[in-house]
Chains A and B, each alone.
Chain A
Amino acid sequence: MKTTLMRLIGRLLIVSMLALPFQTVQAGMIGTDQVASSATAQAQRATLARTIDRPDVASQLQALGVDANAAKERVAAMTDAEVQSLANNLSTMPAGANSTAWGWAIVIALVIWAWYSYK
């Protein structure tokens, strides 16, 4: 019992020793996203001013039928601006699906055709 506990503590210590230097290495570096690029300086600032709520967008994806893990992974691959664009717009944004609406194109083309022929 005691040895199991000791072993566990030992493992935890090893893990924390491995993890800590990595974190201190990363600390202090200013992130790339902090550099305003020439193209998007203003848009970026506008985005940063609002709060980016990734978990919220992930749960909105879930509500539209994506499973929890997949939703989290999908949001993780997006930029702040992309997450922002999705938030609360999921049900209205263009969703590419099919090109089977040929009927419409034909009807309109015929109407225009007829209109021009009888003019």
Chain B
Amino acid sequence: MISRSRASVRRAAGVTGVCRLAGVFLALLLLSGCSMMLPQTTALQDSKPQQLPDLAKLDVPFVPQDENMCGPAALKMALAGAKVDATLDELKRQVFLPGRQGSLQAEMLAAPRRHGLVSYQLAPRLEDVLREVAAGTPVIVLQDYGVWPVSVWHYAVVIGYDYARHEVILHSGLKAGMRMPIAVLEYLWKQSDYWAMVAEPPQRVPATASEGAYVDAVAAVERTGDLAAARAAYGAALERWPGDVKASVGLANALHGLGDLKGAEAALRPAVERHPDSAILLNNLAQTLSDLNRNAEALTVIDRATALGGDFADAVQDTRRHIQERLRAAAAR
């Protein structure tokens, strides 16, 4: 008897008192028919998402946060999940905003790009968070510990869950591997409109990624000038969604920027075949061929783009003029 109560005391120490109180509060809300309060938890309990493993716990080293530094600490853990080692000081410099004594979401998304990773903001679904964790990716969530009208924002990292016990496991603040009822997570998470992000190596598309949003996330990496990472990530995107025009354009642009013109051509050819009415693909293929000194071939391709007209007619016109100049220069030589 004594040993049993001791065991339960030990367990209670693991689950913080506040968590339990909040859990009671939430259980009451649920019992009183307020499932509207926590729609996702209710839905998740009603039916288990297909093929979701019962349990997951990632081996992500815990990084305790300094005062107000949950942003950098959460990022360091997410980056470690992607096998990237960054120092806390470096991450503070990249996301901490002294005037706000905290870190903003946009900056949390921007920082991993500076470490060769692709930041992806998850769809606002509890199920997606669990799926990412099950796939091996720690998820940063933005929670609000305040009570209306005061907001107290906090980033925590979801590193595991136990579906049968309706619990998630988080690295949060000074607590490593904290267990929290899923209902409490939803309650704290809801105020941020269910904001969650992952940072993935460019070769790996997040488990729950949607086509358009992921390709945009890679375009954001290309924009920073990390063309090698962009090339790898566009390649991975095309493996998942072979027909994506933007990913094909991006892959070719990254290769072109890296000086691999043959590679750019190889990326554009199948895309042009698949989307013969894309002026952008035709224009960039023509430009690439011209840069490869195959101007006669380039001219036939750009003529197809000219015939299409549309939003990019001016750019196509410029490319055409440029190719003709090169042809004339070659003839004069």
Interfacial chain A residues near B156, Cβ < 8 Å: 99
Interfacial chain A residues near B210, Cβ < 8 Å: 39
B161 within 8 A of A: no
Decide: B256 and A26 in contact? CB cutoff 8 A: yes
Decide: B97 and A65 in contact? CB cutoff 8 A: yes
Given A32-B246, A94-B142, A95-B101: A109 and B25 interface contact (C-beta under 8 Å): yes
Decide: A108 and B147 in contact? CB cutoff 8 A: yes
A19 within 8 A of B: no
Contact partner, B104, options A90, A99, A100, Cβ 8 Å: A90
B270 within 8 A of A: no
Decide: B256 and A29 in contact? CB cutoff 8 A: yes
Listed residue (B25, B28, B106, B315) with the most chain A CB atoms within 10 angstroms of its CB: B106
A56 within 8 A of B: no
Interfacial chain B residues near A98, Cβ < 8 Å: 65, 67-68, 70, 145, 152, 154, 173
Decide: B97 and A79 in contact? CB cutoff 8 A: no
Closest CB in chain B relative to A108 CB, distance in Å = 5
**SS class, residues of chain B in contact with chain A:** helix
Decide: A38 and B21 in contact? CB cutoff 8 A: no
Over the window 68-90 of chain A, the binary record of Cβ atoms lying under 8 Å from chain B Cβ atoms (1 yes, 0 no) is 00100110111100110110001
B322 within 8 A of A: yes
Interfacial chain A residues near B24, Cβ < 8 Å: 109, 113
Over the window 69-89 of chain B, the binary record of Cβ atoms lying under 8 Å from chain A Cβ atoms (1 yes, 0 no) is 111001000000000000000
Decide: B152 and A104 in contact? CB cutoff 8 A: yes
Chain B residues 81 to 127 lying within 8 A of chain A, measured CB to CB, are: 93-95, 97-111, 113-114
Interfacial chain A residues near B213, Cβ < 8 Å: 37, 39-40
Interfacial chain A residues near B246, Cβ < 8 Å: 32, 35-37
Decide: B284 and A30 in contact? CB cutoff 8 A: yes
Contact partner, B143, options A31, A78, A99, A106, Cβ 8 Å: A99
Closest CB in chain B relative to A32 CB, distance in Å = 4
Closest CB in chain A relative to B235 CB, distance in Å = 14
B257 (CB) vs chain A CBs: closest residue: A26
A108 (CB) vs chain B CBs: closest residue: B147
Decide: B70 and A109 in contact? CB cutoff 8 A: no
B137 within 8 A of A: no
How far is it, in angstroms, between the C-alpha of A76 and the C-alpha of B131 when the chains are bound? 31
Decide: A28 and B107 in contact? CB cutoff 8 A: no
Decide: B211 and A39 in contact? CB cutoff 8 A: yes
Interfacial chain A residues near B99, Cβ < 8 Å: 63-65, 90-91
B319 within 8 A of A: yes
Interfacial chain B residues near A78, Cβ < 8 Å: 106-107, 109-110, 220
Closest CB in chain A relative to B26 CB, distance in Å = 9
Listed residue (A35, A70, A74, A109) with the most chain B CB atoms within 10 angstroms of its CB: A35
Closest CB in chain B relative to A62 CB, distance in Å = 10
B153 within 8 A of A: yes
How far is it, in angstroms, between the C-alpha of A27 and the C-alpha of B176 when the chains are bound? 51
A57 (CB) vs chain B CBs: closest residue: B106
How far is it, in angstroms, between the C-alpha of A104 and the C-alpha of B93 when the chains are bound? 31
B45 within 8 A of A: no
A69 (CB) vs chain B CBs: closest residue: B93
Interfacial chain B residues near A109, Cβ < 8 Å: 18, 21-22, 24-25
Interfacial chain B residues near A17, Cβ < 8 Å: none
Given A28-B319, A32-B249, A104-B152: A96 and B142 interface contact (C-beta under 8 Å): yes
B106 (CB) vs chain A CBs: closest residue: A82
A34 within 8 A of B: yes
Interfacial chain B residues near A95, Cβ < 8 Å: 97, 100-104, 153
Decide: B101 and A28 in contact? CB cutoff 8 A: no
A-B contacts, 21 of them at CB < 8 A, read A28-B319, A29-B253, A30-B283, A32-B219, A32-B222, A33-B223, A35-B249, A37-B219, A39-B210, A64-B97, A66-B97, A66-B98, A77-B94, A79-B223, A93-B105, A94-B144, A95-B104, A97-B101, A98-B173, A99-B70, A99-B143
Q: A94-B153, A100-B173, A104-B150 are in contact. List 5 more A-B contacts (CB 8 A).
A: A40-B213, A77-B110, A101-B145, A105-B147, A109-B21
